[in-house]
Structure 1
Amino acid sequence: MTTTTVNIEDLRTLIAGALETEPEEVTDEAHFTDELEIDSLMLLEISTRIENTYGIPVDDVIVSGVHTLVELHTLIAAKVAEPSA
């Protein structure tokens, strides 16, 4: 069994890559829709990258209602820590 760790800096870089911006622009508490202007299509892109990196289904991220990098990190870390069935 392999263990995947979720580093908030890796998520910051992942989001910055999707937004084509610098990681420093994706602050811990920046609101996705208000400050980072992440719309539903961009959220789908980010969710797909998360699925490819961490194996978390796209729908889990989209329906989670996360609004910040910190909330996303908490969600992904919890999902990765769940025992697989």
Structure 2
Amino acid sequence: MADTTTSGLDKEQLRDLVADVLDLDVAEVTDDAHFVDDLDVDSLMALEITVRLEKEYGVRLAETELASITSLQSTYELLGHKLRETR
């Protein structure tokens, strides 16, 4: 069974959040779907994802980190890292 939690972060909950922001079916937000190329995320949607992540998980994402958020998997890994830092 694949590990779907990192530092208390549930990947399926994260998938639900991203799908909600993008107004997509959860099944479309696969681990490796590229936000821009595959899911047509524009800069406004990316900003909305960032704001929701910061609010939901109580983290602050630096501008330099935002470029690494390109898929659900990369978002999951960055959030896991940020949550471990805050402990």
With the length of structure 1 as denominator, give the TM-score of the two structures. 0.83
Deviations 1:51-77 (A, max 9, x none): 111012244586342211111100001
Whether the aligned pair in 1 keeps the contact of 2:33 and 2:71 (CA below 8 Å) is yes
Quote the residue 2:8 is aligned against: 5
Q: Which has the higher strand share?
A: 2
CA distance in 2 between partners of 1:57 and 1:10 (Å)? 19
Q: CA RMSD in A?
A: 1.9
The answer to whether the Cα contact below 8 Å between 2:19 and 2:29 also exists between their aligned partners in 1 is: yes
Instruction: After TM superposition, list the pairs within 5 Å mapping 1:54-65 onto structure 2.
Output: 54-59=57-62, 63-65=66-68
The count of residues paired between Structure 1 and Structure 2 equals: 81
Q: Which segments of 5 or more consecutive residues in structure 1 lack a partner in the other structure?
A: none
- Residues 48, 58 of structure 1: 8 Å contact kept: no
Q: In structure 2, what residue type is equivalent to 1:18?
A: V
- Structural mapping, 1:42-81, within 5 Å: 42-59=45-62, 63-81=66-84
How many Å separate the matches in 2 of 1:8 and 1:32?
16
Runs (5+) with no aligned partner, structure 2:
1-6
Quote the sequence identity (%). Answer: 37
CA contact (8 A) 1:43 1:62 kept: no
> Does residue 23 of the first structure (1) align with residue 26 of the second (2)?
yes
Per mean C-alpha deviation after superposition, the further-off stretch among 57-66 and 20-29 is 57-66
